[in-house]
Amino acid sequence: MPFPPYPDGGQYPTSAAMSGGDDTEEAPLCRETDIPCTSGIGEESKEDRPNLQETEEGIVGTPQLEDDVGGDMIEEPKSGMEFNSFEELMDYYKQYAKKSGFGVMIRRTDKGDDGTVRYATLGCARGGKARNRTLNVARPRPTGKTECKAKVNALKVDGKFRLTTVNNLHNHGLSPNKSRFFRCNREVSDSVKRVLDINDMAGIRMNKSFGSLVVGAGGFENLPFLEKDCRNYIDKARHLRLGKGGAEALREYFCRMQYKNPGFFALIDLDDDGRLRNVFWADPRSRAAYQYFGDVVTFDTTYLTNRYGMPFAPFVGVNHHGQSILLGAGLISSEDTETFVWLFQTWLQCMDGIAPKAIITDQDRAMKNAIAIVFPESRHRLCLWHILKKVPEKLSSYASYKSGMKNALMKCVYDTQTVDEFEKCWDHFITSYKLHENAWLSSLYTEREYWVPAFLKDCFWAGMSTTQRSESMNAFFDGYVHAKTNLKEFVDQFDSALKKKVESENNADFHSFSVTIPCISRSPIEKRFQELYTNAKFREVQMQLTGIIDLDPELLKRDGAVKTYLIEDEVRVEEFSKSVTFSVDFSEENADAKCSCGLFQMRGILCRHILAGINGQMLPDMQVY
């Protein structure tokens, strides 16, 4: 079943329900209760006392149930409802909140002389004001506080707790599907703790132990806790056992998966003697993810091959949080053009014939040839990191390497803003150091359109210039794959690792849904990006905003409604720091801005040069895409 780019459909709201005990303080003259699964004690004004009349002021929005999380619907709180005990009241309100999609906190409790609660205020965990608890004003911490007024007041009357004041309106979004992430709904039971303790003493790693709990519960969504809640109980890994008949077991595994879910795709390539040669598979989620995050794909086969002798071939994209996501995977017997053509064609078949707009690989010649055959319309980029890491090996033998040659090469790569600038800079570099006969540099120049940033600024790359996305995807198999892992075990462990990766993405979705990163300026542009972007991408926007402090735009010329600014900025690459001049064209007529750095075209992040050139102001008709 395909999944939408945003779990609840539509655009991410900038805030949502979340328990926020870390941001609350105990109210004066009130004591914290020992009721389990609550997120903290908050502050409440004197207006919340039951003997005063209250009005619902400042409320924005109406609570709306997005989905029923299972079971019977729970009646909405109303004044006059009674409960036999404070625990019963807490249980009811938490269940109601879980169904509705918000977190719960105890805002206030008053106890009598006998130590029992006689009055309590329970409310939405997003109530209260945000407090900036960091000295770095340019990087404020995310906050879940929206001053939400949703709450209930309960007074103990004749041995029962009666609701005296009820406010069910929230000023933020609600999501029942994310309720399990709220702190107030997470609890590790004593029985689970005993299992974790035993596994820890047996030397079972956390991912294995937690994975067994996930399987036993029938999925992550059925566990009342997250993996981080169990991290102190699980330590070491249990080595995988080497099995026999891997190829046949692998075929049976794929058949079972396809029987259980028709959306599961797998294809096995056999040689003329019927022996296993290559394998490719893609689960339904990977296929659905490609529909949303398949514009840019990285592909690399080096990590597991070098580390475990396992020729793993992953197709990797990046989601709206900047996280690596798997878009299909294979195991290959060789790395020649024929093998890559089979793998790419199989992947293309699996993805309904839709080729990626851009693909990033290393410099493997066979891979490049296969891409030209299978993806002729896709923009192919060679991994910049793989190229530049060879610089010491290829050039360090020259006497002038450390005295200027390396810096001159880096200037050609990073400091040139246009194709013409690069051509002139490269010619000067080759001539100055008499490198015309260097075969490696000649080959790089021949392929310059595949790796030099100045040639690639017209294409969206989702913030990627290297295949390290693929390598980071491979790296998460550490702890799942062993040097003696056979094919069947690898696919089993691959499935477990992928489920963990999916849970990480769900957690990131919840974080962007439930907390908002405050703006650090009064710029309407920043506010606009805060509304549109996930927290991870909005952080990148704020980094650009902080960078405009040292910039001093110089108006170069004006051609009708178009202004051209020159902006000098410091660019740092590894240990190098260079002063580079960028040009910004801004049209006052159609509010169109373009910078020679190409950050927005390549990554979707508005650069500090444009922000400085337009002075952080958004014209009425300015659009952000």
Cα three-residue angle 130-135-140, rounded to 5 degrees: 45
The pLDDT of residue 560 is: 82
Cα three-residue angle 502-506-510, rounded to 5 degrees: 170
Report how far residue 359's alpha carbon sits from residue 461's, in angstroms, rounded to the nearest whole number. Answer: 9
Please check whether residue 319 is in contact with residue 34, taking contact to mean a CB–CB distance below 8 angstroms.
no
| Residues 356, 421 share a domain | no
Residue 59 lies in a domain: yes
| Residues 554, 591 share a domain | yes
Segments forming the whole domain that contains residue 199? 190-230
Residue 472 buriedness (CB in 10 A; 0-12 / 13-18 / 19+): middle
Report how far residue 484's alpha carbon sits from residue 153's, in angstroms, rounded to the nearest whole number. Answer: 61
Please check whether residue 247 is in contact with residue 276, taking contact to mean a CB–CB distance below 8 angstroms.
yes
| Residues 541, 487 share a domain | no
- Which amino acid makes up residue 532? L
The residue written with tokens 């026999």 in the block is 244
Report how far residue 317's alpha carbon sits from residue 460's, in angstroms, rounded to the nearest whole number. Answer: 13
Residue 567 lies in a domain: yes
| Residues 343, 472 share a domain | yes
Q: Could you give the 3-state DSSP secondary structure of residue 345?
A: helix
pLDDT mean for each 10 residues of the chain (625 residues): 32 30 35 34 37 35 40 81 91 89 89 85 88 67 86 91 92 86 80 76 70 87 80 38 54 82 86 77 86 81 59 78 78 85 92 90 88 93 87 90 89 87 94 92 93 86 61 56 62 73 79 83 83 83 84 84 85 68 82 82 82 62 43
The two structure tokens encoding residue 81: 């409802």
Residue 430 lies in a domain: yes
| Residues 218, 314 share a domain | no
Among the listed residues 615, 4, 588, the one whose alpha carbon sits nearest the alpha carbon of residue 292: 4
Region of 130 (left: φ > 0; alpha: ψ -120 to 50; beta: rest) is: beta
Report how far residue 294's alpha carbon sits from residue 296's, in angstroms, rounded to the nearest whole number. Answer: 5
Domain boundary among 170, 201, 230: 230
The values of phi and psi at residue 385, to 5°, are -65, -45
Helix ranges (H only) for 203-308 are: 206-217, 246-260, 284-293, 302-308
Give first-to-last CA distance, the chain, whole Å: 28
The pLDDT of residue 232 is: 52
The two structure tokens encoding residue 297: 């794909």
| Residues 338, 260 share a domain | yes
Please check whether residue 569 is in contact with residue 580, taking contact to mean a CB–CB distance below 8 angstroms.
yes
The two structure tokens encoding residue 265: 């795709």
Please check whether residue 169 is in contact with residue 152, taking contact to mean a CB–CB distance below 8 angstroms.
no
Report how far residue 434's alpha carbon sits from residue 400's, in angstroms, rounded to the nearest whole number. Answer: 11
Among the listed residues 297, 306, 305, the one whose alpha carbon sits nearest the alpha carbon of residue 332: 305
- Which amino acid makes up residue 558? R
Domain boundary among 424, 450, 476: 450
| Residues 395, 379 share a domain | no
- Indicate which CATH number applies to the domain containing 324: 3.30.420.10
Residue 15 lies in a domain: no
The pLDDT of residue 245 is: 56
Please check whether residue 593 is in contact with residue 617, taking contact to mean a CB–CB distance below 8 angstroms.
no
Q: What order of strands is seen across the sheet that includes strand 82-83?
A: 82-83, 160-167, 151-157, 117-124, 104-111
Report how far residue 527's alpha carbon sits from residue 518's, in angstroms, rounded to the nearest whole number. Answer: 9
Q: Could you give the 3-state DSSP secondary structure of residue 426?
A: helix
Residue 47 lies in a domain: yes
Count of structural domains within the chain: 5
Residue 307 lies in a domain: yes
- β-strand 104-111 against 117-124: which pairing, if any? antiparallel
The two structure tokens encoding residue 221: 């969504």
| Residues 408, 365 share a domain | no
Residue 235 lies in a domain: no
| Residues 218, 79 share a domain | no
Report how far residue 154's alpha carbon sits from residue 170's, in angstroms, rounded to the nearest whole number. Answer: 19
Report how far residue 44's alpha carbon sits from residue 124's, in angstroms, rounded to the nearest whole number. Answer: 12
CA atoms within 13 A on the CB side of 354: 15
Collect all residues with Cβ–Cβ distance below 8 Å to 196 and sequence separation of at least 6. Answer: 188, 209, 230, 233, 234
The values of phi and psi at residue 613, to 5°, are -65, -35
Which DSSP letter does residue 112 get? -
Residue 77 lies in a domain: yes
**From the centroid of its chain, how far is CA 284?**
20
Q: Could you give the 3-state DSSP secondary structure of residue 63?
A: coil
- Which amino acid makes up residue 320? H
Report how far residue 212's alpha carbon sits from residue 141's, in angstroms, rounded to the nearest whole number. Answer: 34
The two structure tokens encoding residue 361: 């690989």
Domain boundary among 230, 258, 286: 230
Cα three-residue angle 417-419-420, rounded to 5 degrees: 100
| Residues 204, 271 share a domain | no
Collect all residues with Cβ–Cβ distance below 8 Å to 467 and sequence separation of at least 6. Answer: 298, 299, 300, 360, 361, 362, 383, 385, 386
Among the listed residues 85, 102, 99, the one whose alpha carbon sits nearest the alpha carbon of residue 39: 102
Please check whether residue 292 is in contact with residue 243, taking contact to mean a CB–CB distance below 8 angstroms.
no
| Residues 88, 138 share a domain | yes
Q: What order of strands is seen across the sheet that includes strand 592-595?
A: 554-559, 562-573, 576-587, 592-595
The residues that bridge with 548 in the sheet, in sequence order, are: none
| Residues 250, 218 share a domain | no
